[in-house]
Amino acid sequence: MTFFKIILISFAIISIFSCTKNKESVLLLKEVDLGTVSSNDTVHSNIEITNLMKENLIIKKASSSCGCTSITIKDSIVKPNSKTRLDFDFIADFNGDKGHTSKAIVLETNSPQRFHEIIINAKVE
């Protein structure tokens, strides 16, 4: 019985350590649903990015999966426990595609998880 308790306590300690080690360093919305948009619309939206690290978050690069999405970041250096805003424009008729579409915005940062992906979904009519 004592052996079982030692194993159980060891497992609990390892689990707690693993959870703290893999803690999120950047808080941001992973997916944005723009709903139904007209093919001649340009949709303006934004995402809040929060730095949960104890050091400055540096957004080194922001890119999109196609030319249909333009990106502007308010501040590329975010102090600990502070926020910045990523503004984006989705140009619905850029590729002439109709129906459901998914595009990606990828941020390269100095956080432990170097790349952060945000998926933008829309139904283009």
Question: Quick one: fold of 25-124?
Answer: Immunoglobulin-like (2.60.40)
Q: What is the pLDDT of residues 47-63, one digit of tens each?
A: 999 999 999 999 999 99
- pLDDT band, very low/low/confident/very high, at 123 (cuts 50, 70, 90): very high
Q: Name the DSSP class of 113.
A: S
pLDDT tens-place string over residues 12-29:
444 344 333 446 788 888
Higher model confidence: residue 17 or residue 91? Answer: 91
Strand order across the beta sheet in which 99-109 lies: 31-37, 115-124, 99-109, 57-64, 77-78
Domain ranges of the chain: 25-124
